[in-house]
Structure 1
Amino acid sequence: MKFPTKATVLKTTTSAGVVALVLAAGAPAAQAEDIIKIGHVAATSGPIAHLGKDNENGARMAVDELNAKGVAIGGKKYKIVLQAEDDAADPKQATAAAQKLVDAKVQGVIGHETSGTSIPASRIYYDAGIPQISPSASNPQYTRQRYNTTFRNVANDEQLGAALARYAMQQVKAKRIAVIDDRTAYGKGLADEFIKNVKRGGAASGSSIVSTQFTNDKATDFSAILTAVKATKPDMIFFGGMDAVAGPMLRQMKQLAIPIKFMGGDGMCSDSVPRLAGNAMSDGQVICAEAGGVEPSQEKGMADFRVAYKKRYGIEVQTYAPYTYDALMTMVAAMRKAGSPDPAKYLPELAKIQYKGVTGNIAFDARGDVKDGVLTIYTFKNATREKLAVVK
């Protein structure tokens, strides 16, 4: 956004002694910088605020790095400003935040954090013609609404659920699996994909789903559903939900003497899980997958990012910060290719972008899903997350 210069007002005196005002329209005046305003939305309050803040931190690192190096687009220099909003992982608050960003005339949006907020907000951005990249929403529905403004740079639940099911059956050799989800768009969507893939591959592996239970994303007492699960004698629990629920659930599993494997997706794959679980989590018990990952040739870039993040914020990356960083960098790369930050002009470039990020190579398919999405399988040992494998 470029602000016009003000004309300079000069005083002069005519032969009759009358003071006249002369507008020197071409006189030099101070100019404000050209601004690119990018919105960011995540849950920076509520039970998963630590994950939402992680997202926001990643976006701020990208903005600061770009501004420090200088952003030149179409021969002009720009300053990027991040307008960060909190949706508290609530769909209604998400749509209000989305409308606020549209009214503020942002040129792009990074977010939202969860599927349950990204899906309703995406219609608002589509109607306004504003490109949106979510670094963490994995429900397939997000990119299946035929909105050409909607993208994500992480694998979706179809990929995540399939990969986790294969790992559970082929590597863990789980035979009797109980499934619990938190009824959110993310948690239920992931659990449904996992169940579908276990049923598909169960005949060959001998694996089956022995119990399905559900809770909610704010629950703290799981004794009833865990007791029901225990009665089915499972050797693994799959949980579709976030770490704020997974941690307390692990504590109650220990109290009820259910020392079995506990598997889930990226929502419960943060470094906060050991803290939230207290001393209830044994080494190797938890297996989770992050919707992203880097091949060996790119591991140094991710490691360097983690070091820089900790140096700046004094904490470890939770889960999504590198993907948020890459999402914003990818959006600006599209603006540079288009020679303009105008959404209508850079949107076509975003759709066909090829960007090498710290989380991998980023390109989008016709729906806006990341192409060739990879996943990283982790466990926890000595309260530290440890990589097991990178899979597709």
Structure 2
Amino acid sequence: MYQTFKFLPLVAAVALVACGGDKSSDACGKLDAGQVCVKIGHGAPRTGGIAHLGKDNENGAQLAVNEINAKGGIKVGDKVVKLALVGEDDAADPKQGPVVAQKLLDAGVVGVVGHLTSGVTIPASAVYAKAGVVEISPSSTNPDYTLKGEKTPKGSVSTYRMVATDAMQGPAMGRFMLNKGAKTVAILDDSTQYGKGLADQVEKTLKDGGVQVVAHEASTATTTDFKAILTKIKGMNPDYLFWGGMDDTAASLVKQMKELGMTTKLASADGPCTKKFIDLAGDAGEGVVCSQAGMPLSKMAKGAQYNANYEKTFVGQKVQIYSPFAYDAVYALAEAMKIAGSTEREAIAAAMPKVNFSGLTGQVAFDEKGDIKGGAISIFQVINKNLEVIDIIK
């Protein structure tokens, strides 16, 4: 278990320089005798349409790193370890996953928090595994990430995630529409591993429940003009349109639904379940239903304290979705170091199955595949331009 912790303000900017194992490093701040600086990697988009989500995760990881350092570091064997976060931009591009992974490995990281999207996390995972490095995603929900069974050269599981998978999230949203009396549903996804995987789970649940899926259309992650697809769907007049994709594109989608005079309700999952979606969608976003893979910040025991510290530290920024899970992912790596009594990559990987502590997001422990135990799905509705919790499924 971790000791009870207090949230402390950020004391340094995100470090982008190598410092693992150094006796002194600007990235970790001033090091006393017996202290060493160890690097943790973070991969997520810093550019592109969902850069705000990547930055949100990075902010959460940075808060944890700075909190640990401000308390003097962690005792690992006979060393006192302070941490530095090494961040890289993957642009939410699957092709950049392995490239960014190699950059982080070359920088000497001993563990990685990331990536944001399943489409990047999955191809990056093989690179980390080969190097004996644990990858903990705060937000990748495609079940294939852990089902692939990536292992280090010494046989330890290398893929972990902090949230429930789409095998839970997709059916939860499908059942929500069923319970609301939906008879017909259209589905549209962005053709990514995340979006299509989620949409397929929703479609199966709906069909198993006797709902008629009148269409399953595909766009791309960068599509902004949906009018041709929406005109086709409007003619079918389904009760719901389910969107498998992200918030920037969802905002364009729902605004065009309103422009076309559609009465069909929009439902989605965690991609658009953000404050950014509400800002972009404006009045058109009212009533949209979405989900998040995990407990909402408002229901976390120390969620209000975390939120206040986040907004004080990152002035002008709001918690989007998964930064609390990135925060706890750093603590999971720190706990594994303590259990292992080592900062060696393979030692950390071998210790991960023993990690079990009370974190910000709840109890943090993993099953044999690397999935979080006891994951929850929270369902929200946009009401008066706020995300309001309407159900929590465990």
Task: Please give the TM-score of this superposition, normalised by the length of structure 1.
Answer: 0.88
User: In structure 1, what residue type is equivalent to 2:243?
Assistant: F
User: In structure 2, what residue type is equivalent to 1:179?
Assistant: I
The structural deviation recorded for 1:303 is: 2.3
Say what the alpha-carbon RMSD is for the aligned residues. Answer: 1.8
2:182 is the alignment partner of 1:174: yes
What does 1:185-196 correspond to in 2, within 5 Å? 185-196=193-204
| SS of residue matched to 2:284 | coil
Change (3 A) 1:3 1:367: closer
**Cα contact 1:152–1:369 (8 A) shared by 2:** yes
Whole-Å Cα distance in 2 between the matches of residues 80 and 2 of structure 1? 10
Who is 1:355 aligned against?
357
Whole-Å Cα distance in 1 between the matches of residues 228 and 147 of structure 2? 36
The structural deviation recorded for 1:348 is: 2.3
Which is higher, the Rg of structure 1 or of structure 2? Answer: 1
2:276 is the alignment partner of 1:272: yes
The structural deviation recorded for 1:295 is: 10
| SS of residue matched to 1:293 | coil
Who is 2:81 aligned against?
78
Work out the number of aligned pairs and report it: 360
**Cα contact 2:21–2:38 (8 A) shared by 1:** no
**Cα contact 2:45–2:53 (8 A) shared by 1:** yes
**Cα contact 1:3–1:31 (8 A) shared by 2:** no
Who is 1:152 aligned against?
161
The structural deviation recorded for 1:218 is: 0.5
What does 1:298-317 correspond to in 2, within 5 Å? 299-314=300-315, 315-317=317-319
Change (3 A) 1:2 1:142: closer
| SS of residue matched to 1:279 | helix
Change (3 A) 1:64 1:380: same
User: In structure 2, what residue type is equivalent to 1:305?
Assistant: Y
| Contiguous gaps of at least 5 residues in structure 2 | 1-19, 25-31, 151-156
Whole-Å Cα distance in 1 between the matches of residues 114 and 88 of structure 2? 10
Whole-Å Cα distance in 1 between the matches of residues 385 and 23 of structure 2? 56
Who is 1:337 aligned against?
339
**Cα contact 1:2–1:33 (8 A) shared by 2:** no
User: In structure 1, what residue type is equivalent to 2:352?
Assistant: L
| SS of residue matched to 1:316 | coil
2:246 is the alignment partner of 1:238: no
The structural deviation recorded for 1:294 is: 5.8
User: In structure 2, what residue type is equivalent to 1:152?
Assistant: R
| SS of residue matched to 1:99 | helix
**Cα contact 1:301–1:358 (8 A) shared by 2:** yes
Whole-Å Cα distance in 1 between the matches of residues 266 and 276 of structure 2? 15
| Contiguous gaps of at least 5 residues in structure 1 | 6-29
2:28 is the alignment partner of 1:62: no
What does 1:1-392 correspond to in 2, within 5 Å? 1-2=20-21, 33-71=35-73, 72-147=75-150, 148-170=157-179, 172-202=180-210, 207-282=211-286, 285-293=287-295, 299-314=300-315, 315-392=317-394
Whole-Å Cα distance in 2 between the matches of residues 2 and 279 of structure 1? 52
The structural deviation recorded for 1:281 is: 2.3
**Cα contact 1:55–1:321 (8 A) shared by 2:** yes
| SS of residue matched to 1:91 | coil
Task: Please give the TM-score of this superposition, normalised by the length of structure 2.
Answer: 0.88
